[in-house]
Chain A
Amino acid sequence: MERSEAVKTCLVVDDSRVIRKVARRILEDIGFEIAEAADGMEALAWCRAAMPDAILLDWNMPVMNGIDFLRLLRAEPGGEAPRVVFCSVETEPDRIREALDAGACEYIMKPFDGDIIGAKFAEAGLV
Chain B
Amino acid sequence: MSPQDIELFVALARARAGLKIDPAKTYLLESRLGPLARRENFAGISEMAAALRALREEKLIWAVVEALAQGETGFFRDRTPFTTFRRELLPTLARLRGGEPIRVWSCACGAGQEAYSLAMIAEDAEGLPPGTQVEIYGSDISERSLEKAQAGLYTQFEVQRGLPIRQLLAHFEKVEDNWRLTPRIRQRVRWRRVNLISDLTIMGRFDVIFCRNVLSLMDAPYRRRVLESVAALLPPDGLLILGEGETAESITDAFRPVTGRPGLYVRNPAYRAAAA
Contact A116 B161, beta carbon cutoff 8 Å: yes
Contact B161 A106, beta carbon cutoff 8 Å: no
Question: Chain B residue with minimal CB distance to A97?
Answer: B169
Contact A112 B174, beta carbon cutoff 8 Å: no
CB distance from B47 to the nearest CB of A (A): 35
Of A18-26, A41-49, A75-83, A88-96, which binds chain B?
A88-96
How many residues on B have C-beta within 8 angstroms of the other chain's C-beta atoms? 14
Give chain B residues whose Cβ lies under 8 Å from the Cβ of A115: 161
Interface of A is mostly: helix
A92–B174 CA distance with the chains assembled, in angstroms: 8
A91–B156 CA distance with the chains assembled, in angstroms: 9
A52–B166 CA distance with the chains assembled, in angstroms: 24
Give chain A residues whose Cβ lies under 8 Å from the Cβ of B165: 96, 100, 106-107, 120, 123
CB distance from A107 to the nearest CB of B (A): 4
Interface string of B150-178 (1 = CB under 8 A from A): 00000011001110111011000110010
Q: Pick the contact of A96 from B157, B162, B169, B177 — CB < 8 Å?
A: B169
CB distance from A2 to the nearest CB of B (A): 27
Contact A109 B160, beta carbon cutoff 8 Å: yes
Q: Pick the contact of A119 from B162, B168, B169 — CB < 8 Å?
A: B162
Interface membership of A56, Cβ < 8 A: no
Contact A120 B166, beta carbon cutoff 8 Å: no
Q: Pick the contact of B164 from A97, A106, A116 — CB < 8 Å?
A: A106
CB distance from B185 to the nearest CB of A (A): 15
Contact A116 B160, beta carbon cutoff 8 Å: yes
CB distance from B77 to the nearest CB of A (A): 10
Q: Pick the contact of B169 from A93, A108, A122 — CB < 8 Å?
A: A93
A123–B164 CA distance with the chains assembled, in angstroms: 6
Contacts A/B (CB < 8 Å), 11 sampled: A91-B156, A91-B174, A92-B174, A93-B174, A97-B169, A109-B156, A116-B160, A116-B161, A120-B160, A122-B79, A123-B164
Closest CB pairs A-B (n = 9): A107-B165, A116-B160, A123-B164, A119-B161, A106-B165, A109-B156, A119-B162, A93-B169, A115-B161
B residues sitting closer than 8 Å to A (CB atoms) are 79, 156-157, 160-162, 164-166, 168-169, 173-174, 177
